[in-house]
Amino acid sequence: MDATTTEEIPATAQETPVAADSADVAAGNSEPQRFDFRHPVFLSSGEWRKLRMEIEEFVESTGALLSTYLRLDLSLQLGNLHTLTFGEFTAALPSPTHITLFKTDPLRGIALLEIRSGIGQAVVDRLLGGPGKGSGADRNLTEMEVALMDQFVQMIIDEWCKAWGKLQEVRGEILGHENNGKFLQCASSDMLMLGVVLNLRMGESEGQIQLMLPYAPLEPLINKLAELGAAPATSVSAANAAGPKWTRSLDKVPMTMNACWPPIKLPTRALMGLQVGSVLDLKAEDAERLELRVGEKVKFRGRLGMRDSTWAVQITEVSKI
């Protein structure tokens, strides 16, 4: 079963509780539900929705973190959330590909993070200072490229562990690498895995990243997650009024702010005569209307002053432009 074509868990199979509600049985309203014996997941539809919401938050924070780390606008989106056996996963893997084996203490089992060759080469190219483009030909990564890729992968693993931090402290550690799914022997072929498929786009390069985790150790955490309760429902108008959701990963991103004087008008002859040491006369009121810019955009206006023997600007208004 290819990860790119596997359908999301159907409500009639894996998102439906195994046992019908007792009230429904008494009322005679229950109907037989199809059960997938190959992927026996005992979660209700509400638990699956809660799990998907949490993973979408993980994807959002990871995308912002990787964008800052690579200093490049990128798009990371959740492509699919499903279950499959270890044998199905390895059989669908292309060759070559880059597979990282890791553990999440204290959870049992070995998890996998697979990055397709094309997008993997693009990430390495960006880490080496390039624009973030692959060679166009599928190939195995060199030892140096694998070492660079480990930094990228470790950030994803750390964010995954952080996502479960409110339920249990989890620590991720890389164990090894493989480039062919046929050589993976870290689990039995019938072991059930939770698959998280991510679609990564960097400029002209795009590809898949797959997180594969043993399902059994995660199931107790998923049940605890459902017990926390779903977020209260809000109307569309209230959601719009609240504005966009802030991503905490951006709290410490460094930003450059410039304080600029208003433009000075000079005759062309005077401008051509400027040289090192020339003095320009400024109006006193100019110190009351400095512009504070982030990039090329004026965000605030303020007045020039001193604070603790250091030049400072006091913000007097927020620009509406």
The per-residue pLDDT for 230 is: 47
Owner of token pair 């110190």: 287
* pTM of the shown model: 0.61
pLDDT at 79 over 50: yes
- Domains of the chain plus CATH, in order, are 22-231 (3.40.1550.10), 256-318 (2.30.330.10)
pLDDT at 12: 37
CB 178 within 8 A of CB 107: no
Question: What tokens were used for 36?
Answer: 């997938």
More confident residue, 213 or 247: 213
Query: Does a cis peptide bond (omega within 30 degrees of 0) precede residue 106?
Result: yes
Residue 251 binned pLDDT confidence (cut-offs 50, 70, 90): confident
The predicted structure's pLDDT at residue 172: 93
Nearest Cα neighbor of 149 from 103, 194, 116 is 116
Neighbours of 9 (CB within 10 A): 21
Express each pLDDT in 178-208 by its tens digit.
Answer: 999 888 988 888 899 999 999 999 988 999 9
The structure tokens 């926390």 sit at 228
Q: 8 pLDDT band (50/70/90 cuts)?
A: very low
Between residues 227 and 259, the one the model is more confident about: 259
Residue 196 to residue 183: CA distance in whole angstroms: 22
> Do residues 313 and 305 lie in contact, with contact meaning Cβ atoms separated by under 8 Å?
yes
Please answer whether residues 253 and 65 qualify as being in contact, where contact means their C-beta atoms are separated by less than 8 angstroms: no
- Asked if the model's pLDDT at residue 100 lies above 90, the reply is yes
Fill in the DSSP letter of residue 250: G
Predicted pLDDT of residue 240: 53
Tokens found for residue 30: 């229950």
pLDDT digits (tens, 9 = 90+) for 103-125: 999 999 999 999 999 999 999 99
The pLDDT tens digits for 252-278 are 777 788 888 777 788 888 888 888 888
